[in-house]
Amino acid sequence: MQGAASIAPSGDPARERLLGGVYAFTAYLMWGILPLYFLALAPTGPWELVAWRILLSLAFCVILLTVMRGWGRLARIMRQKRLLALTAFAGALIYVNWQIYILATLTGHVIETSLGYFINPIVTVLLGVLVLRERLRLTQWIALGLAALAVLVIVIGYGAFPWIALSLAGSFGIYGLVKKKLGPSVDAVSGLTLESLWLAPVATVLLIVVADTSGLTIGASGAGHAALLGLAGVITATPLLLFAAGSRRVPLTVMGMLQFVAPILQFVIGVWVLGESMSLERWIGFALVWVALVVLTVDSVVSARRARGGVADVADLT
């Protein structure tokens, strides 16, 4: 998300880059340990949890808009039909992402969620080709090929299609593309407010269905559980705002490397904290994805250096 107005940049470029790196790292750190938070909310199920996450995020954003005096900015966005349509689409995508992620986390598939976010940068490159008609360099094609081979190894060797990983990568990749289309026209708080607002009816229906079937857990499992669940809005919105503040201050290459913090932590939690199984085929599949990410990262760094060198050469000529 772009433009976290709550953390305004100062004038010192070096300090801004340092702060941006801290903001981005903190955002990815929070995303990385989210599985532990969701598991601590037992016996709250995935459907009720997502519903509260939506409604409490909306409540938190309303407070932020009031404190930051952002209601005028939100009103201007709401008068533009194109922006409203894009935020509605973004809301639908983030709902799919959240629901699949929490379902997977609460049913013992944290490792596969980490695979999804490892694959996400590769999906972003693929979307650039399919949607934005971008031309790929040879190294990017190699990375895509390695990722495809990794999925094939997991399907054949492990005997299961990694639909959780690919659904998470696909939904978040398209979500990022929509946010790019929105650009600076929609700031972070206004964007999350509108996305949550579009999803509020869905969340309400989910709570009604859960209440009518298994029963709601909020308030029924003690004060500590209720307080922890009540933080869902803050825990959802805070890393998004930190990410927005960080992405404005540091180069894309730095953001590209920092984004691996979250899936690495999820992988560690899945394997060594929760004890989920890792077959040989899974290790091979993950290894192929990691090699693909190394190729992509090196290519991104080299390309950025060449671009800066080209700009410097032009400046010298002028």
Question: For the segment 162-177, what is each residue's pLDDT rounded down to a tens digit?
Answer: 999 999 999 998 998 8
The answer to whether residue 17 scores a pLDDT higher than 60 is yes
Higher pLDDT, 313 or 90: 90
- Determine the Cα–Cα distance for residues 254 and 23; give it in Å rounded to an integer: 12
CA proximity to 76, closest of 60, 63, 91, 65? 65
DSSP 8-state secondary structure symbol assigned to residue 185: G
Angle at the Cα of 20 from the Cα atoms of 52 and 257, rounded to 5 degrees = 85
pLDDT at 305: 78
With a cut of 70, say whether residue 88 has pLDDT above it. yes
pLDDT, tens digit, 9 for 90 and up, residues 258-289: 889 999 999 999 999 999 989 888 899 999 99
Where residue 3 falls among pLDDT bands split at 50, 70, 90?
Answer: very low
pLDDT category at 7 given cuts 50, 70, 90 is: low
By CB neighbour count within 10 A (0-12 exposed, 13-18 middle, 19+ buried), where does 115 fall? buried
